[in-house]
Structure 1
């Protein structure tokens, strides 16, 4: 797949892979490394960012391969055009699922919030410069009813 990528895209991809290489070294090879909360956090951030990076590189690689295929066809080099066409389909096959996963992860990380509510579902009212949030009485009653039903079922 590197053959169909431009030089700039290849260098950018290698630079963005450096943190992943260090994380792999840290977790699998390094015996003297101290595991801290920061190392867990950085690894989690890398894992969350992986589908977004993979989707971006797959789309960029598909575009780059399509351009290379078009140039090969215009230069009457059918073998090279077939190779680049294969790279286009491979990049599309990687891009579609990773774009769907990236969209779903984005939707989970940044949910759409109703107007007048906060991220916890509380009702918020603005009065000048201050915002006061209170629990939603409907969800509070439903939670209380569920608790009471569980309490009465226990022997």
Structure 2
């Protein structure tokens, strides 16, 4: 499915978008800070990836939530990826399952079977070696 992507910065946004769509289809998406916190507290081993949108807001509460989620993920060896836009992430994820929830934090849980999309993201992420870039999601 993702073999046509080369492993470079320009394609990671497309791969991440495909991964979000596939994970949502598979029911592996957890949305919202409080919902994510419950999963992280109770079963962090089930989480594959944490997505946090870059927040231009000055709301200190949102910033604190993001820092706490990010710290908890790093402490539990969960990969954290920041995306460039909350609006783009909402556009990818809007559906009956997420409507009404805040999409300010997204967890992607482990796939039940091997996923080339998950592998692509993980391989790319490991190449960054502990950097946390902001990924540009395509429209």
Greater helix fraction, Structure 1 or Structure 2: 1
Normalised to the residue count of structure 1, the TM-score between the two structures is 0.26
Larger Rg: 1
Normalised to the residue count of structure 2, the TM-score between the two structures is 0.28
Greater RCO, CA 8 A, separation 6+: 2
Greater strand fraction, Structure 1 or Structure 2: 2
